[in-house]
Structure 1
Amino acid sequence: MKKSINVETLGKLYQVFKDKEWKMVEWEQDSLFNRLSNTLKNLNIEEQELFIKLLEKLEYYTVSDYEDLLIEVLVKMHQSVKKNKFTFVPLISNRDQQDVKSGMLVTYLLKSNTIQYNSDISNMKFYLHLNLTDNDVSLINRKEMCLVIIDDFIGSGDSAIEAVSYFITRGVKKDKIIILSLVTLTAGASKIESEGINFFYARKSKNLAEQFESIGDLSKLKEDIVSLSKKIGVKDFQYLGYNESSALLSMIRMPNNTIGVFFDGRNKANIPFPRLP
């Protein structure tokens, strides 16, 4: 028997794309819309309703959003710190590792012409590095300058704190270090701020508990998500995202903090937001 989406559910899927202004491409079989449609076809009506409910809460930031978010957080930082010279490095867990990371993209966006069109930040001086030399460390400590560790997303906050520790061991004074992110989870922001680290972000994303706080007891919702995850073929450690972060968002690459139904599954062609290695 041919599988299909409940008519009401299909209408809700169209409405999600309309409300969120997502690009709807029905003619391309691998498009986001068709991946979501094919996922929904393999679910029963109750499961379809739950998937749509979660999708309605999902935040999706594309690369076209990054410049606006970057300008927003730079303005916040500049107004608070009151300095004009900043050395930027991408947030990288292992600086001996050669993998391309999202923090590198955000660092490069600091060269964007668009930044020069904003009078609040056009006079700021940016020095961009992948890592610091001993001379760089000395300049940061001696001059009216800060070190900014930058990324597009902060989840648990652990990697950011590790990066700060690394640069402190390199000799950078802690009060000279800033973490800057386009988007953060509440838990990550709280952890970083509890360490006494200067932290600026453009958006704070709500996780499952925050999005559905009106429910009160989330145990039934989480049970339903686990059941849905099993149906889709999500790996068990991905059901509620990394360390059960239960995030509901995607950057240009979906964080593994997000619940697994959006980036994992048995049928790779149907995964809505596939995480490439």
Structure 2
Amino acid sequence: MSTNIKLITKLHTILTEKGWGTDREEKKSGKKLFQIFAEIMEQLNEKQSLLLLHLISKFKIYKADNYSFLLKKAFEDISFSNHQDAKIIYLIPLVHWKDIKKEKFKSGHSFLYQIQNQSFIKIAPPLHGKKIEILRDYVAYDSKKESFKTQKKCFIFFDDFIGTGDTAIRTINEFSDEYNIDFKDIYLISLVAMQHGLERLYDSGVNIGVGEMANKGISDDPYLSGKITENINTMLDIEKEFSVPPTYELGYGRSEALISMIRTPNNTFPLFWFTNKKLDVPFPRF
């Protein structure tokens, strides 16, 4: 399909207003973001292109430079008053044991490596003056199992992004059961969380602090109110054209996220990250 000049001009304006410019490159392909989006729009009709442009206008990129500020906000969002006298704090990447055993490198690992930097420790008051130990895997857990029973301690799981909340709930519940840890001794810190995932975590009794909350890109958008179903169906039609697997329709768990971090979450609309043979994408996961 031929994209009309009005839509291309609007794309240029949106990218400029977001501070992305038309010269910003996607590292993997080496193409400019403007070119990538324009090529995607070439495959869409006008209605689909207008929806994409609206979603681009709301899309957020969180870079490593943003993490310190978001981490500070996340710690401010949660109370550690019950553990002011904790002798030791264990920091743990939010990675499910199945992924640990498969030796998968997850975003929780990447985030925890940054947490070790002292500049991050300084902006987290609950960590001040405490003995800090990092548990990267279940071998480390098992080596500390006996001390878990006697020490005055707490456990802080970290991740940069929470989508549906499934992994967080499953991981924390299994950790609590396996090591007989009281739920009140477990905390979760996330830089960004989807509102629907956050609500599930609250309902599950997880103590969580979040730097910033995100809403669903279509379903929670007041601008699209009254046309939610129509726009959802439009996006599903687009995804069908790009051969998106059912698992990732509207983003994993139908999360409708409009977010890219150091690694783009699979909860984000796949049009922004799902790589296929037809076209390059602006924010690939790998």
After TM superposition, the score normalised by the length of structure 2 is: 0.83
**2: CA distance, partners of 1:124 / 1:24:** 47
CA contact (8 A) 1:141 1:173 kept: no
- Residue in 2 that maps onto 1:8: 6
Matches within 5 A, 1:3-42: 5-22=3-20, 24-25=22-23, 29-42=30-43
The question of 1:112 aligning with 2:117 is answered yes
CA contact (8 A) 1:244 1:257 kept: yes
The structure-2 alpha-carbon separation of the partners of 1:46 and 1:148, relative to structure 1 and needing over 3 Å to count, comes to same
Matches within 5 A, 1:82-161: 83=84, 85-93=88-96, 94=98, 95-115=100-120, 118=123, 120=125, 123-125=128-130, 126-131=132-137, 132-134=140-142, 136-161=144-169
Count matched residues. 274
CA contact (8 A) 2:76 2:209 kept: no
Superposition deviation, residue 166 in structure 1: 2.1
Deviations 1:158-178 (A, max 9, x none): 111111122111222221111
**2: CA distance, partners of 1:119 / 1:129:** 18
Deviations 1:29-62 (A, max 9, x none): 4233322222122323332211101111222212
1:230 to 217, 221, 240: 240
Superposition deviation, residue 256 in structure 1: 1.7
Higher mean alpha-carbon deviation, 52-61 vs 108-117, is at: 108-117
Superposition deviation, residue 20 in structure 1: 2.6
- Residue in 2 that maps onto 1:239: 249
CA contact (8 A) 1:233 1:265 kept: no
**1: CA distance, partners of 2:121 / 2:24:** 38
State the SS of the aligned residue for 1:163: helix
**1: CA distance, partners of 2:124 / 2:169:** 32
Matches within 5 A, 1:41-60: 41-60=42-61
Superposition deviation, residue 226 in structure 1: 1.4
CA contact (8 A) 1:115 1:121 kept: no
Superposition deviation, residue 264 in structure 1: 2.3
State the SS of the aligned residue for 1:133: helix
2:213 to 204, 207, 210: 204
Query: What stretches of structure 1 of length at least 5 have no aligned partner?
Result: none
The question of 1:184 aligning with 2:193 is answered yes
**2: CA distance, partners of 1:104 / 1:27:** 26
Q: Percent sequence identity over matched residues? A: 25
Deviations 1:122-151 (A, max 9, x none): 725332121343453444454342101111
Superposition deviation, residue 81 in structure 1: 5.4
Query: What stretches of structure 2 of length at least 5 have no aligned partner?
Result: none
CA contact (8 A) 1:183 1:202 kept: yes
**1: CA distance, partners of 2:67 / 2:25:** 27
